[in-house]
Structure 1
Amino acid sequence: MSSVNRWLAASLVVLAGVALQAPLAAQEDLTVLPAIPNDYAPKKTDWGEPDFRGRWPIDHLNGLPLQRTPEQGNRAFLTEQELAERQARIDQLAGRYAAEDSQDKIGQGHWVEMGVGSRRTSLLVTPANGRLPEMTEEGKRLSAQMRSSWRNGQDFDWVTDFDSWDRCITRGLPASMMPMMYNNGLRIFQSPGLVAIQMEMIHETRIIPTDGRAAIPVQIRNWLGESRGHWEDANTLVVETINFRPGASATNIVTSGSPPSNDSPISEQAKLIERFHMTGPDTITYESHYEDPTIFTAPWGARLEWQRNDEYEFFEYACHEGNVQLRNYITASRAERAGKTPEAQ
């Protein structure tokens, strides 16, 4: 699919998202999210499980921040004025990125998926204030040690000075299930006893057994943890993930609305429970519940409304081609500290 056709398809999805959210403006109580519908019975696979297969990009949610502002308190929805202000900010940023592109130059605007101004105040729905809970003292200590090329004012001397996403390893979990400014594709595959979720970012694939097999030993730890799933009711997939390998980020610094200064590290005690509710032939409500008592003083959870778009095409995720970007960062950082240009070093 050409970039123009992809943009048109994505625009139709965004417009559909606006239409779906329009009735919420008449809601008197802005603090309450509507209940998740549970009356839809999806078609079945040939082996008798609910059929969730398809492409479910979350690019339309990129305008929805992870956290609320403190001033929004426990409100689940924006006022009309706040929505207009949010959309204006998104349009301004989108215009800035688009201006980078020209006939002889392809800038960031070619890749950015800005989303639409959602009426929701935040992806987070728990705690009630829609904000990440306070970190423990250990969480604060580990968070202060995290590095990222996306954060200003950091020096780089070796590959370990970069986070797992800089190094093209992983964006972390549940961060990888959150919208970003590009590569927001999610694709679900199924086979008897297995569900696979492919992510456009870094092209990672989560393999989720649903056949009741036993958990692996806790000594075996993965970047995306180890998942086990089961079907609940006629339209819900429940996935529990443990055995996380520390080193990635639970929220990631580039997740819209995430903490501006520090990431949220992952410890070996992290646990993620996800519920995928199919609410219609082209809609899934995704809920996540995350707890890590080493890092956070309380659990937190998010809710995302997915929309099917089987026309969405995954871009190649080449990350830093030739594996030279980290070396360039290190060279430039050393030169800057030495008061020299990289060419003179």
Structure 2
Amino acid sequence: MRRLALLLATLTLPGSAWAQEDLTRLPDPSDSYRPALTSWGEPDFRGGWPIDHLNGRTPLQRDPALGDRQLLTEQEYAERAEVVEALEQRYANEDESGTMGMGHWAEVSAANRRTSWITAPANGQLPALTPEGQRLSDAMRSSWVEGQPFDTWTDFDSWDRCITRGLPASMFPFMYNNGMRIFQSPGLVALQMEMVHEVRMIPTDGSAHIPAAIGNWMGDSRGRWLDANTLEVETTNFRPGPSATNIGTTGSPRENDIPVSTSARLVERFHMTGPDEIIYEFTWEDPVVFTQPWSARLEWLRDDDFAIYEYACHEGNVQVRNFITASRAERAEAAQ
């Protein structure tokens, strides 16, 4: 636990390794660490790797005023820390007033120095959509879109319906349910995610992708060990549709939903840089939807004591029906 505390300090405190002179780039992941090996000879990444510590107001996309800077100055960091401290106080305030609201519902962790999770393009922004990507996005429906009426189940995205948050969205922190755990067996890595209780099965035995005609919500992943401390994963075979991806993390596009095509490809690298740290990086390319690929980086910290509980989503599977009933009633009342 002392190691975990030190790593959290590195992520959050002014004057730490993050407070480097060049604020425009993050330090490259170290290749010097050599993790222990499993009994069958693969690097041992097993354990709890929750990303709840990343839920500290770092946005997906960077504030344009920060330009190409990947790190905050000490003053900017202090300002973010002040905002986070106020958010953390909500829980105690609600307890004192005998109420229960967003302070109990939305988790927040310590601030960090990152200006955005997106690292490429250099401006930290999602690339522009292609004309076809824009057309597909405009056709999407979601409960996250303000003022949208609901008439059928197709007015809800896959996360609304508790099917999946999709990729790469599932790899970003949200306001709750940020647990992740890695399991391994010979030739296989399994990544369990608390949100929607999905498990990504990643063969590392050299087997080929499934046929291109088969599409999955989370795609089809294949991994390989690049060296003693890095796992690279390529995911293809994504299931297209008008409601496939909802990033949902701080700083996501206002409409939240981004379409996915059958041409989408995700390449991830998990670098273990110490016994309690993984630098997670990915590049997402979907030429049907985006005008160029984009990349992100997140710093994972080990916490084997993090407990993953039931993710009920919506009890009794009645909320989609309730949204539709309420929406129709509101419109009928407005018409009168």
Residue 300 of structure 2, aligned match among 293, 306, 319: 306
Secondary structure in 1 matching 2:258? coil
Letter in 2 for 1:60: H
| 4+ residue segments displaced more than 6 Å | none
**Given the alignment, which residue of 29, 46, 51 partners 1:58?**
51
The equivalent of 1:168 in structure 2 is 162
What is the letter of the counterpart of residue 268 of structure 1?
T
2:333 aligned with 1:320, yes or no? Answer: no
CA shift at 1:40, angstroms?
0.5
2:250: which partner in 1? Answer: 256
Q: Is the alpha carbon distance of 1:14 and 1:137 closer, same or farther for their aligned partners in structure 2, counting shifts above 3 Å?
A: farther
Whole-Å separation in 2 of the counterparts to 1:330 and 1:100: 31
Q: Find the counterpart in structure 2 of residue 241 from structure 1.
A: 235
Change over 3 Å in CA distance of 1:132–1:330 after alignment to 2:
same
Question: CA 1:25/1:289 → structure 2, altered by over 3 Å: closer, same or farther?
Answer: closer
Task: Give unmatched runs, 5+ long, in structure 1.
Answer: 1-8, 341-345
Q: 1:201 to 1:14 in 2, by over 3 A?
A: farther
The percentage of aligned residue pairs carrying the same residue is 64
CA displacement at 1:102 relative to structure 2: 6.6
Matched, 1:36 2:29: yes
Name the residue aligned to 1:278.
272
Task: Choose from 15, 27, 33 the match for 2:20.
Answer: 27
Separation in structure 1 between the aligned mates of residue 144 and residue 179 of structure 2, nearest angstrom:
22
Check the 8 A contact 2:172/2:247 in 1, yes or no: no
Q: Does 1:46 align with 2:16?
A: no
Structure 2 residue identity aligned to 1:162: F
Q: What RMSD over aligned residues (CA atoms) do the two structures have, in Å?
A: 2.0
> Do the aligned residues in 2 keep the contact of 1:285 with 1:303 (CA within 8 Å)?
yes
CA shift at 1:32, angstroms? 1.8
1 CA distance for matches of 2:139 and 2:4?
39
Query: In structure 2, the residue corresponding to 1:264 is in which secondary structure?
Result: strand
Output one character per residue of 1:163-216: Cα deviation in whole Å (capped at 9) or x when no partner. 000000000101001110000001000000000000000000000000011221
Pairwise CA distance, 1:112: 2.5
Counterpart code for 1:17: L
Q: Secondary structure at the match of 1:93?
A: helix
Aligned to 1:18: 9
- Alpha-carbon contact 1:14-1:115 (below 8 Å) kept: no
Could you tell me which residue of structure 2 aligns to residue 209 of structure 1?
203
- Tell me, yes or no, if the aligned pair for 2:19 and 2:73 is still in contact at 8 Å: no
Q: Find out whether 1:143 has 2:137 as its counterpart.
A: yes
Partner of 1:91: 85
Cα distance in structure 2, aligned partners of 1:206 and 1:221: 14
Q: Deviations over 1:132-172 (max 9, x none)?
A: 01110111111122222122111001111100000000001
**8 Å CA contact retained: 1:229, 1:237:** yes
1:68 to 48, 53, 62: 62
Distance 2:92 2:213 in 1: 47
Which amino acid in structure 2 is aligned with residue 49 of structure 1? E
In 2, the alpha carbon distance for the partners of 1:315 and 1:179 equals 17
Q: Distance in 1 between matches of 2:5 and 2:219?
A: 32
Structure 2 unaligned regions, length at least 5? none
SS of corresponding position for 1:302? strand
One of 100, 107, 117 as aligned partner of 2:111? 117
Which residue identity is paired with 2:38? T
Secondary structure (helix, strand or coil) at the match of 2:260 reads: coil
Normalized against structure 2, the TM-score is what? 0.92
1:18 counterpart letter in structure 2: A
Shift of 1:16: 4.2
Residue 185 (1) aligns with residue 171 (2): no
1:154 aligns with 2:110: no
CA contact (8 A) 1:101 1:107 kept: no
